[in-house]
Amino acid sequence: MNILVTGGAGYIGSVVTEILQRRGYKPFVVDNLSIGRRKYVPE
């Protein structure tokens, strides 16, 4: 299942994205990077 994660480059969004991936979901991350960091977004 695909899931949209807004703010995925922030701390909370990146943790949620990682958990979703481990559970078999396919997160789609959207973030304007005004506060978040690209390194927190998994490939």
pLDDT of residue 34: 81
- Whether residue 23 is contained in a domain is answered as yes
For residue range 1-43, list pLDDT tens digits in order.
999 999 888 889 989 999 999 999 999 999 888 877 777 776 6
- Whether residue 1 is contained in a domain is answered as no
Going by C-alpha positions, the residue among 39, 26, 32 that lies closest to residue 17 is 26
Range of the domain at 25: 6-40
Q: Tell me which residue has tokens 């943790």.
A: 15
Please answer whether residues 38 and 10 qualify as being in contact, where contact means their C-beta atoms are separated by less than 8 angstroms: no
pTM: 0.77
Number of Cβ within 10 Å of residue 37's Cβ equals 12
Count up the domains in the chain and report the number: 1
- Whether residue 18 is contained in a domain is answered as yes
pLDDT of residue 9: 87
Please answer whether residues 29 and 9 qualify as being in contact, where contact means their C-beta atoms are separated by less than 8 angstroms: yes
CA-based torsion, 12, 32, 22, 1: positive or negative: positive
